Amino acid sequence: EVQLLESGGGLVQPGGSLRLSCAASGFTFSNYAMSWVRQVPGKGLEWVSYTSGISTAEYYADSVQGRFTISRDSAKKTVYLQMNSLRDEDTAMYYCAREAVQFGEFPISLDHWGHGTLVTVSS
Amino acid sequence: QSALTQPPSASGSPGQSVTISCTGTSNDIGNYNYVSWYQQHPGKAPKLMIYDVTKRPSGVPGRFSGSKSGNSASLTVSGLQAEDEADYYCSSYAGINHLVFGGGTKVTVL
pLDDT tens, position by position, B54-94: 999 999 999 999 999 999 999 999 999 999 999 999 999 99
Sort residue B74 into left (φ over 0), alpha (ψ -120 to 50) or beta: beta
Q: How far apart are CA A48 and CA B87, in angstroms?
A: 20
Q: What's the pLDDT at B1? A: 65
Helices (H) and strands (E) in chain B, counts: 0, 9
> Which of A44, A62, A111 is facing B101, going by the closest CB pair?
A44
Residues of B with CB under 8 A from a CB of A: 1, 3, 34, 36, 38, 45-48, 51-52, 57, 89, 91, 93, 97-104
In which element (H, E) is residue B69 found? strand B64-69
| % of chain B at pLDDT higher than 90 | 95
Measure the CA–CA gap between A44 and B105, rounded to whole angstroms: 9
Q: Which residues, 6 or more positions from A106, have their beta carbon under 8 angstroms from its beta carbon? A: A50, A57, A59, B93, B97
Substitution target in A56, A106, A117, A118 with the highest count of B β-carbons within 10 Å is A106
Chain A residues in contact with B47 by the CB 8 A cut-off are: 113
Interface of A to B at Cβ within 8 Å reads 35, 37, 44-47, 50, 57, 59, 61-62, 95, 97, 100, 106-111, 113-116
CB A111 within 8 A of CB A15: no
Q: How far is CA B69 from CA A4, B17, B34, B74, B83, in A?
A: 34, 19, 13, 9, 28
d(CA B105, CA B96): 26
pLDDT at A53: 87
In DSSP terms, B36 is beta-bridged to B91
Residues of B in contact with A35 (CB under 8 A): 99
Distance from CA of B80 to the nearest CA of A (A): 23
A48-68 pLDDT, tens digit per residue, is 999 998 768 999 999 999 999
C-beta atoms of A116 and B102 within 8 A: no
Sign of the torsion angle spanned by Cα atoms A68, A69, A75, A77? positive
Residues of chain A with pLDDT under 70: 55
Q: Do residue B99 and residue A44 have CB atoms under 8 angstroms apart?
A: no
- Report yes or no: A20 and A6 within 8 Å, Cβ to Cβ: yes
Query: How many residues can be counted in chain A?
Result: 123
CA end-to-end span of chain B, whole Å?
A: 35
